[in-house]
Amino acid sequence: MLADIITIGDEILIGQIVDTNSAWIAQRLNESGIKVRQITSVSDEKQHILNALQDAHEQSEVIIITGGLGPTSDDITKPTLSEYFGSKLTENESVLNDLLAFVKARGIKLSERNRKQAEVPECCTVIRNPVGTAPAMWFEKDSRIYISLPGVPFEMIEIMEQSIIPKLVEVTHGRSKIIIHKNVLTHGISESHLAVMLADWERQFPTNLKLAYLPQPGIIRLRLTIEGKNEAQLREILEFELHILKRILPDAIFGEDEDSMEGVVGRLLLEKDATLSVAESCTGGNISHLITLVSGSSKYYKGSVVAYSNETKYELLKVNIDTLINYGAVSKQTAAEMAKGVKILCKTDYAIAITGIAGPDGGSEEKPVGTTWIAVATPDKIISQKFHFGDNRELNIMRASVAALNLLRLQLI
């Protein structure tokens, strides 16, 4: 079963707001076995909305419309839907009662303008809005279902969760396919190399299984999607393919679904009851920031030194001054001494250290922008590795942070 989402509002088309509603709706519909065919954002213009409705009607069985239901003059969804369905606007008693209760609870009076919100197309079924003044509306025409929702995200979400999704699931029961997604997170192999490594595996997929590559800095997310009727069978196929994937990529996979690199590292440290400290140069605090985004990180993370100058490396982290002079700040030796220094300073079991040239300046022929040394100190040794990132400062910081956390992860497993 297919759905179209139509979002109405000039604020989206001038880029004033990012449309987060569509992604949320798409995800929830997907979970309910309804596949979104297209998302269309149109302006507050009657003819444009009518065209979008007609186009969606030709392609999908469920059409979700958000926005344009407010009390101001630029909100024209209701009269437009009225015209589209050949209906007329009339005051709805139950909506009016909800409105009166809503304003009474806030100690204000119902203005004429707000009373207009009780008017809905005669042909619709009203769906109550428990958290706002604009109700949702349910229409049926030529065995299509149309649902009009307010554009305010929390109102839309509340109405969808409480009323629309249960009703849709009931109405479409048996008509919709089951869709299951599984995400696998990888690090350390480029998208094109992954594609080569996974080509044979992908070729033997059943026709109802698909693979997608979703890259972000330092991480490539592999998404497996399977469609069908029998949930247990679909899950079995997914499990089987996942098993093969893990054999093809034994080291690159670090997590699944909602995992993050910093979350996985945190879990491993907790399991070992071990503590962590960090010495950062080129990443300027970003590794520490990622680690502390995880709620509960204070159980294993003790602290960091961001040593952005040679003096700080020398005075705080006790990096030997000869090391800095002989090998330079971006070197295996400096990284190792930084790791050792912060581990002693913060009295932790593990430590990460990183030093590199984030750019855009500071590069040389021998050490171009992006050259980075990462060291990890464990309870009994220090390992280090050289990396080459690109020449974009912000990206280098992100990629280097993920690579550093991954180097620690490999020592923890």
Distance CA 119, CA 95 (A): 8
Identify each DSSP E strand in 169-230 by its residue range. Answer: 178-186, 209-216, 219-228
Distance CA 337, CA 301 (A): 20
Q: Which is nearer to a copy of itself, 14 or 413 (CB)?
A: 14
**Shortest Cβ distance from residue 86 to a copy of itself (Å)?**
25
Closest CA to 233 of 206, 211, 213: 206
Element at 351 (helix H, strand E): strand 350-356
Q: Which is nearer to a copy of itself, 47 or 125 (CB)?
A: 47
**Shortest Cβ distance from residue 133 to a copy of itself (Å)?**
8
**Shortest Cβ distance from residue 9 to a copy of itself (Å)?**
8
Give Cα separations from 412 to 276, 374, 384, 406 (angstroms): 11, 16, 15, 10
| Peptide bond just before 360 cis, omega within 30 deg | yes
**Shortest Cβ distance from residue 285 to a copy of itself (Å)?**
3
Torsional class of 218: left (φ above 0), alpha (ψ -120 to 50), beta (otherwise): left
**Shortest Cβ distance from residue 230 to a copy of itself (Å)?**
20
Q: Which is nearer to a copy of itself, 86 or 207 (CB)?
A: 207
CA 126-138-167 angle, 5° bins: 100
**Shortest Cβ distance from residue 116 to a copy of itself (Å)?**
9
Helices (H), 93-230: 93-105, 112-115, 153-159, 165-171, 191-203
Q: Which is nearer to a copy of itself, 292 or 320 (CB)?
A: 292
Distance CA 281, CA 276 (A): 17
**Shortest Cβ distance from residue 141 to a copy of itself (Å)?**
22
Q: Which is nearer to a copy of itself, 312 or 320 (CB)?
A: 312
Q: Which is nearer to a copy of itself, 87 or 292 (CB)?
A: 292
Neighbours of 94 (CB within 10 A): 12
**Shortest Cβ distance from residue 262 to a copy of itself (Å)?**
11
Q: Which is nearer to a copy of itself, 12 or 87 (CB)?
A: 12
Closest CA to 160 of 133, 139, 129: 129
Q: Which is nearer to a copy of itself, 140 or 212 (CB)?
A: 212
